[in-house]
Amino acid sequence: MPMDANSLTELGVKAIRDGVAAGDFTAREVAEAFNANVAAASALNAFIVATPDHALAAADAVDAARAAGEALGTMAGVPIGMKDLFATRGVQTTAASHILEGFEPEYESTVSANLWKAGAGMLGKLNLDQFAMGSSNETSYFGNVISPWRRNDGGNAALAPGGSSGGSSAAVSARLAPAATGTDTGGSIRQPAAFTGISGIKPTYGRCSRWGIVAFASSLDQAGPMARDVTDCAIMLEAMAGFDPKDATSLDLPVPQWEAGLNPDMRGKKIGIPREYRMDGMDEDVAKSWDDGIAWLKDAGAEIVDVSLPHTKYALPAYYIVAPAEASSNLARYDGVRYGLRDLPDGAGLQDMYAATRAAGFGDEVKRRIIIGTYVLSAGFYDAYYNQAQKVRTLIAQDFAKAFEQVDVILAPTCPTAAFGLGDKTSDPLSMYLNDVFAVPASLAGLPAMSVPAGLNREGLPLGLQLIGRPFDEQGVLNAGLALEARAGFDAKPERWW
């Protein structure tokens, strides 16, 4: 059945892959349809650069392979958005920073290479918070990403798409891409997914290679897929994951067949509800969506169990020591010598060049975190801050381990609120950090965690529910996500205004 371009861009990963394989439409038709949507959506500022030729070339290769009767990859014919934190050979890779503006890697990140090998193509490099530091996509050197969503109050206040994967979330929810890569250090896949009514999963730390991903906090950074539903996330995660000898923390384990293993039957499963996540003054709509999620999983056959994660309130402050500490070390490489920006004032020596280059090349939030990190690692403070935070991190991981003796998966809200307005939190860094309160604990413990859309709040904005699983149990997380998805029946999408 021939499909017009508008119908093609409503399709997700599975529908595109299966449709291309069945000959319902060509990969080139799909790529052209999404390229057109990308080109028409500059008002969202979701892409830093568009790469329509890359998408078309990958599509043509898939169409040719199909014509020749060759086996097609698991992402064959699916054009995706690539967060601009992944090194892509010959295509500008900036981490949304000035210091890397114009940087064209001579190599390809492992995750993006895996996706191209599976038959995916690239629509472009997606905007993000600078060096993935932010929760609203307001720290990018290339400007804010505007969420395609608006409140139902008739106003047109610009809302945050979440962060740091804000270009990814905006692009997928606005139908500029059927799926996109994200990275999650302290919620950067889950929070933007929740803000824009899409799904996203951060796998167990080590599932996806970090090789070729611009480093933020190496003990936390994990790549993962963002897509419109749970099945599409399973397909794409399978293509992204895998052992990589070039990443010392890569897990030397076979990649499970998550797509084939999808099963929404929750009978015999225990779902934990962490009481510490029910905070005083919790947003009523968020509390209600959590209750809905409990009822849906019960309906799917799960037993609901109250669990305690007593150190929850310390997760965020521990994160804001560990992550900036690692960032201050990782970002020491930007020195104006080997790549990126160089600012060499007249008559300056080497040290002055370093300081001038970094002053000109880093944005305010990046500088703030480097300074915090340098401070907590400096002589005399290391034990009080960094070591104490790493001990608290051990306690947080133990909390989860104890809870997982009783339950299979934990259910909680993804975020304390729906999307906030651009500019609402920029004057107070702490209030911005607090938005990640529910997302950060799973990051500190390296656990697989996912956000799925649960419904709309009274302002007409999406809310997400979060599922957290045992280490290596992405399948349990995806399955519970599928059970929620079937019952939430979320089919809202932003009305096109851009």
Partner 1 sequence: MSIDRATVAKIASLARIRMSEDELDCLAPELSGILDWVEQLGEVDTSQVEPMTAVIPNTLRLRDDVVDADPLTGGNKRDDILANAPAAEHGFFGVPKVIE
- Residues within window 366-385 making contact with partner 1, judged by CB under 8 A: 367-368, 370-372, 374-375, 378, 384-385
Closest contact distance (angstroms) between CB of 200 and partner 1 is 20
In 68-177, which ranges are E strands? 79-83, 121-126
Nearest residue (CB) to partner 1, 370 versus 478: 370
Nearest residue (CB) to partner 1, 21 versus 348: 348
> Quick one: 359 exposed, middle or buried, by C-beta within 10 A (0-12, 13-18, 19+)?
exposed
Nearest residue (CB) to partner 1, 229 versus 436: 436
Number of residues in contact with partner 1 under rule CB under 8 A: 72
Interaction of residue 498 with partner 1, rule CB under 8 A:
no
* d(C-alpha 160, C-alpha 138), whole Å: 8
- Token pair, residue 220, equals 């936390």
Of 308, 390, 417, 426, the one binding partner 1 (CB under 8 A) is 390
Interaction of residue 328 with partner 1, rule CB under 8 A:
yes
- Residues within window 128-187 making contact with partner 1, judged by CB under 8 A: none
Closest contact distance (angstroms) between CB of 390 and partner 1 is 4
Q: In the annotation, is 188 catalytic?
A: yes
Nearest residue (CB) to partner 1, 45 versus 185: 185
Helix axes 27-39, 13-22, angle to 10 degrees: 140
Angle among Cα 122, 53, 192 to the nearest 5 degrees reads 30
Stretch near partner 1 under the rule CB under 8 A, chosen from 10-18, 37-45, 54-62, 443-451: 443-451
- Residues within window 29-88 making contact with partner 1, judged by CB under 8 A: none
* Residue 340, phi then psi, degrees to nearest 5: 80, -165
Q: Which of 109, 135, 164, 199 is catalytic?
A: 164
Asked whether the beta carbons of 160 and 420 are under 8 A apart, the reply is yes
| End-to-end Cα distance, the chain | 30
* d(C-alpha 306, C-alpha 446), whole Å: 22
Interaction of residue 6 with partner 1, rule CB under 8 A:
no
Nearest residue (CB) to partner 1, 398 versus 417: 398
Interaction of residue 359 with partner 1, rule CB under 8 A:
yes
Of 117, 246, 333, 402, the one binding partner 1 (CB under 8 A) is 246
Interaction of residue 323 with partner 1, rule CB under 8 A:
no
Closest contact distance (angstroms) between CB of 315 and partner 1 is 10
Interaction of residue 314 with partner 1, rule CB under 8 A:
yes
How many CB atoms lie under 10 A from the CB of residue 43? 11
Of 20, 236, 392, 480, the one binding partner 1 (CB under 8 A) is 392
Query: Which residues contact residue 446 at a Cβ distance below 8 angstroms, ignoring those fewer than 6 apart?
Result: 204, 205, 206, 397, 471
* d(C-alpha 122, C-alpha 352), whole Å: 39
Closest contact distance (angstroms) between CB of 153 and partner 1 is 32
Q: Which of 83, 125, 202, 425 is catalytic?
A: 83
Interaction of residue 389 with partner 1, rule CB under 8 A:
yes
- Residues within window 411-430 making contact with partner 1, judged by CB under 8 A: 429-430
Query: Which residues contact residue 397 at a Cβ distance below 8 angstroms, ignoring those fewer than 6 apart?
Result: 444, 445, 446
Interaction of residue 202 with partner 1, rule CB under 8 A:
no
Cis-peptide, bond into residue 42, ω within 30° of zero: no
Query: Which residues contact residue 13 at a Cβ distance below 8 angstroms, ignoring those fewer than 6 apart?
Result: 75, 78, 178, 179, 227, 231, 232, 235, 236
Q: Which of 136, 169, 188, 451 is catalytic?
A: 188
- Residues within window 335-354 making contact with partner 1, judged by CB under 8 A: 335-342, 344, 348-354
- Residues within window 248-307 making contact with partner 1, judged by CB under 8 A: 248-249, 251-252
Look at residues 256, 177, 239 and name the one whose alpha carbon lies nearest to residue 16: 177
Nearest residue (CB) to partner 1, 169 versus 250: 250
How many CB atoms lie under 10 A from the CB of residue 268? 9
Kindly list the catalytic residues. 83, 164, 188
